[in-house]
Structure 1
Amino acid sequence: MSMEHHLGIVTAGSLNKGIEVKLDGAASIEDMAVGRYVTIEGNKRRFFGMITDVSLGVTDPALTVSPPSDDGFLSEILTGTSAYGSLHVAPYLTIGGTETAIDGPQPVKTIPGHFSPVKEASAADIELVFGKEDAKKFWIGNPLDMEVKLCLDLQNLAKRSNGIFGKSGTGKTFLTRMLLIGLLQKSAAVNLVFDMHSEYGWAGTFEGKGRKVKALKQLFPSKVAVFTLDEENSRQRGVSTDFVVRIGLEEIEPEDISLLRQTLNLTDAAVEAVYQLRRHYGKGWFTAAEDIEDSATLDELKIHESTFQNLRRGLNTIRRLPFIAPNAPGDVVDTMLKYLESGKHVVLEFGRYTDITAYMLVANLLTRRIYASYRDRTEKAVAADSGYPTPLVITIEEAHKFLNSGVASQTIFGTIAREMRKYSVTLLIIDQRPSGIDDEIMSQLGTKITCLLDSEKDIDAVLSGVSGKNELKNVLAKLSSRQQALIFGHAVPMPVAFTPREYGSDYGDWGDTAAQVTDKEIEELWE
């Protein structure tokens, strides 16, 4: 074993609580960092683990009472012997032993013996665990303080719903944009993005700098379609759009109103009244409700006057949305499905209509109908054992509004998250308040990518049900406020703290515009 990367030896530990490592005197404790990787050379196996804590220890307690603070020579003699550094290592995998030569890295089921040597994980070790960039694996970044590429199998990622979390300004949008590009490049799935702040379609912005950067449509014009709710805003921004979305009153269902109960300040009785109106008037219930003026009609419908007035105020809020029309031209769902079925990715920009009412109404309404189409197509494909639809990833922001404990069981998004790609549809949810998302939904997410969180409730929500929660909490707490994240779950063999990749001239295939993008433009594209 090369002594150049030798760190120390195992002195104690357990499978559940982790391994204690005593640092050699030659290894500087200041070079050790939470989130970095080490390998432990057991007699029969090599163990791969993560540093989750760094501490100082002494063999003689008297040294803590009377330290040799003024004697540099004595301090140097004692360092590494009577006074030493310790690492706490969480072992995750066994690699490179006889048992794993064929099957690859395996979950750890035992621990190394006393005095087993510990060294820094090499680039070859990282590649053995996470794989190399290829036709399926996408380079997402680099493990902390390492130059080796960290790669994700995006087809594996798309098999389940996933989440990206972090407080405002930590880079959630940047990570989301990068994953969407990866899914597009690797043809792992088609994306339907409900782009609340117009960051993913034509152009986005640097975090906190206001500068524009190219997004999916500019980079891959033949593979991405931009739909818009705000044609005027798109025109002012110079966006090349493919379809202008209008929502007809007859397309609005009681389920859409139920989801907006809190946003519209509706009572339970008002929500129930919507279902009564739908049963009585059919698809034209919204327009019929606007025309009700007499108490006799309400008595016939068994709706109390105060309940109806509460409902009417909510319906008026929806009616005033500029993209709502009595009779919408064209069918937006059919158009979206045609693009998705042809392998094109769809981004729906909301322009100036960033009010949460507009976002929740449109996202819920369109997702319900698209999901119903995918469900029918999948059931027919199963019966015929052919013609399966291309996997679809639906991206939503402000996810806690759709998936909180009060509404998750009733929304289409809760259904999709629980079904785990049963009908070839999964979610990519983005949120800065994961504690607001229903616990069952959080437990169903396959992979989570989390930037820094400052709320204990949010941290506990993200890490709920995860093995080694306390160790990962230490790693998460030590992340930088920007450009660092922790990923764990179904798509990675073990948790990994990483720095997202820089988009420089080595990015590779930029799609249809590759030949026209200069090195300077590429270097300025991403932060």
Structure 2
Amino acid sequence: MLGKVISSSTDKVHFRIDEGEEFENVKVGNLVVIESKYNYLARINELEARHLGESVLPDKIAALSYPDAIENIQGIFGPQFYYAATASLLGIVDGNTIRGAKSLPKYLAPVRRVTEEDLKFLYRTETCISIGRVRDMDIPIFLDVDTFVTKHAGVFGKTGSGKSNAVKVILREVKNRDIACVVFDVHSEYGYHPTGLGGLDNVYVLGLKGAECDVSLCIPRTLIYPSELAMITELTPAQQDAVHLIYRKEKDWLHYIARKNSEEISEEFEQRIRVETISALKRKVSRITDYEFVGDKFDSLKYIMGKVVQGATVIIDFGEYENNDWVIQLVTSIVARYLLNQFRSARRKNTDVPKTLIVLEESHKLLNKEMARQTVFEKIVREGRKFNLGLCVVDQMPKKILDEVISQLNTVIILLLTNIKDREHLISSSENDLTDFKEEMRRLDIGEAIVTGIAVPVPIPAQIDLFKRDEIERGEKKEEEFREFDWN
């Protein structure tokens, strides 16, 4: 027995930890079961050292010279000093299910550590993926993959917390379920990194300059919209009007502005566009047309969509542009908008397209308060689920992300967050009640996480699996050898 209930309310239980229990083995985040009329599942949120008697008793004992003073101070109720825990009620365990708790456990009800039998409701179903284990236990954690993918998710943690490893584990699992993924790999971690997915079966890496890849990324000028230009540079009202006039007339509007003489453009539009406006536009348009990945040689967008239809994982490696916010904003916006339009079109035509997850690294660069409503990602979090197109937001600074975006993330994986503003913004913005996790978020070890939301039955303290590329390679090699075996 771990302890006994000493008080409770509709959402919290306070229990005294048994004298025979090693207090320092009881941790914030541990799951416990309270045995009353029902078996209540609870999660420890706070630990506290307490004492009986006058308030200054600890001070008086601390002043004593002999070391065993505390052990020798006894009372009619036992030791004067004891430890207590506060736990949040998660529900009532009923066989293989868990339901909401609408009652309270009785006074002095025994509290024990959770067992595998208690967590049978976490067991795998046909629509689940495994990302790790319950912390300090050998019990796998499963997420409902359809819910995770189509109803949007977030992975948050400071640099070095194990965030990239968590994403790789998610990609591994989603890949095995033949769900398509498009990953915006800002820091070259997921492709041909020593521990990346590049080269694995049904994984394709597209790269910008400096990236190791299967195919170089090339975006046709004709598939770039005026909104992309407005996103990376500020346009005056006159410049906006000029761009829209030219865009309606010229399919290759960027090439037209960049290459044609300013005076000629003004004449063709009967002086509705001033020469000075066109000259200024030329300088701003060059911010797009001068990039080597913008042109008319190869349509990477069609290539990406073709792989998505096959249920593949597509990784876009930004190579030397990892610190270039313009390029990150431009490429992610164009690719995501193209995908959303294709999924909309497929729905109108009643064409089957695999469930697809877009993984957006460095999300705060596009989903901040200043930019979010200008990008397609705000539309994806609001509309994507209609088309089986989901978004996984990955970031180390959730405080910079628009609260309306965070509120749409129905599954959240939280790793170590030491910045109080990050924690508070996540708590205030999320649809999931994260209040009880505020302090635990800053105490997590590398690879530890809190998994919460509609993809799991209850919030779970997790140890995320370590992504091991060599194990996947061995598995794929066995499959290839099996397919090639000559039965004759």
When the two structures are superposed, what TM-score results if normalisation uses the length of structure 2?
0.88
- The yes-or-no answer on 1:245 pairing with 2:217 is yes
Could you say which residue in structure 1 is the equivalent of 2:8?
13
- The yes-or-no answer on 1:177 pairing with 2:168 is yes
SS in 1 for 2:139: coil
- Output aligned runs, 1:442-521, within 5 Å: 442-464=406-428, 465=430, 468-480=433-445, 482-503=446-467, 511-513=475-477
- The yes-or-no answer on 1:186 pairing with 2:167 is no
User: What's the offset of the Cα at 1:116?
Assistant: 1.1
User: What's the offset of the Cα at 1:509?
Assistant: 8.2
SS in 1 for 2:8: strand
After superposition, the C-alpha distances for 1:279-335 in whole angstroms (9 at most, x for unaligned) are 3x332221222234239829956556776555433322222211122xx12432222
- The yes-or-no answer on 1:362 pairing with 2:365 is no
Could you say which residue in structure 1 is the equivalent of 2:484?
none
Could you say which residue in structure 2 is the equivalent of 1:165?
156
Could you say which residue in structure 2 is the equivalent of 1:29?
23
Q: Which amino acid aligns with 1:313?
A: R
Could you say which residue in structure 1 is the equivalent of 2:116?
123
Q: Name the stretch that deviates more: 391-400 or 285-294.
A: 285-294
SS in 1 for 2:343: helix
Cα distance change of structure 1 residues 271 and 196 upon mapping to structure 2, 3 Å threshold: farther
Cα distance change of structure 1 residues 118 and 303 upon mapping to structure 2, 3 Å threshold: farther
User: What's the offset of the Cα at 1:422?
Assistant: 0.6
SS in 1 for 2:137: coil
Cα distance change of structure 1 residues 167 and 252 upon mapping to structure 2, 3 Å threshold: same
Cα distance change of structure 1 residues 181 and 19 upon mapping to structure 2, 3 Å threshold: same
Could you say which residue in structure 1 is the equivalent of 2:282?
312
Residue 287 (structure 1) aligned to one of 252, 255, 258: 255
Residue 378 (structure 1) aligned to one of 332, 347, 361: 347
- The yes-or-no answer on 1:390 pairing with 2:354 is yes
Cα distance change of structure 1 residues 467 and 115 upon mapping to structure 2, 3 Å threshold: farther
When the two structures are superposed, what TM-score results if normalisation uses the length of structure 1?
0.82
Q: Which amino acid aligns with 2:57?
A: L
Cα distance change of structure 1 residues 21 and 440 upon mapping to structure 2, 3 Å threshold: same
Cα distance change of structure 1 residues 483 and 25 upon mapping to structure 2, 3 Å threshold: same
Could you say which residue in structure 2 is the equivalent of 1:59?
52
Native 8 Å contact 1:131 1:137 kept in 2: no
Native 8 Å contact 1:51 1:89 kept in 2: yes
User: What's the offset of the Cα at 1:70?
Assistant: 4.4
Could you say which residue in structure 2 is the equivalent of 1:426?
390
Residue 150 (structure 1) aligned to one of 141, 147, 150: 141
SS in 2 for 1:419: helix
Q: Which amino acid aligns with 2:53?
A: D
Native 8 Å contact 1:259 1:402 kept in 2: no
SS in 1 for 2:106: coil
In structure 1, how many angstroms separate the alpha carbons of the residues matched to 2:19 and 2:180?
A: 53
SS in 2 for 1:93: strand
Q: Which amino acid aligns with 2:112?
A: K
Could you say which residue in structure 2 is the equivalent of 1:89?
87
Residue 46 (structure 1) aligned to one of 19, 39, 43: 39
For structure 2, which runs of at least 5 residues remain unmatched after alignment? 482-488
Q: Which amino acid aligns with 2:289?
A: R
Cα distance change of structure 1 residues 87 and 271 upon mapping to structure 2, 3 Å threshold: farther
Could you say which residue in structure 2 is the equivalent of 1:110?
103
User: What's the offset of the Cα at 1:469?
Assistant: 3.5
After superposition, the C-alpha distances for 1:80-110 in whole angstroms (9 at most, x for unaligned) are 63211010101112102xxxx47x1112233
Residue 197 (structure 1) aligned to one of 178, 187, 197: 187
C-alpha RMSD over aligned residues:
2.8
- The yes-or-no answer on 1:352 pairing with 2:324 is no
In structure 2, how many angstroms separate the alpha carbons of the residues matched to 1:9 and 1:390?
A: 51
For structure 1, which runs of at least 5 residues remain unmatched after alignment? 1-5, 205-211, 382-386, 518-527
In structure 1, how many angstroms separate the alpha carbons of the residues matched to 2:173 and 2:270?
A: 56
Residue 216 (structure 1) aligned to one of 177, 187, 197: 197
User: What's the offset of the Cα at 1:267?
Assistant: 4.9
Q: Which amino acid aligns with 1:84?
A: Y
User: What's the offset of the Cα at 1:72?
Assistant: 5.0
In structure 2, how many angstroms separate the alpha carbons of the residues matched to 1:515 and 1:296?
A: 60
Q: How many residues align?
A: 472
Identity of aligned residues (%): 25
In structure 2, how many angstroms separate the alpha carbons of the residues matched to 1:249 and 1:491?
A: 40
In structure 1, how many angstroms separate the alpha carbons of the residues matched to 2:206 and 2:7?
A: 59
In structure 2, how many angstroms separate the alpha carbons of the residues matched to 1:129 and 1:268?
A: 58
After superposition, the C-alpha distances for 1:457-503 in whole angstroms (9 at most, x for unaligned) are 211222224565332101112112x2222221121122223221235
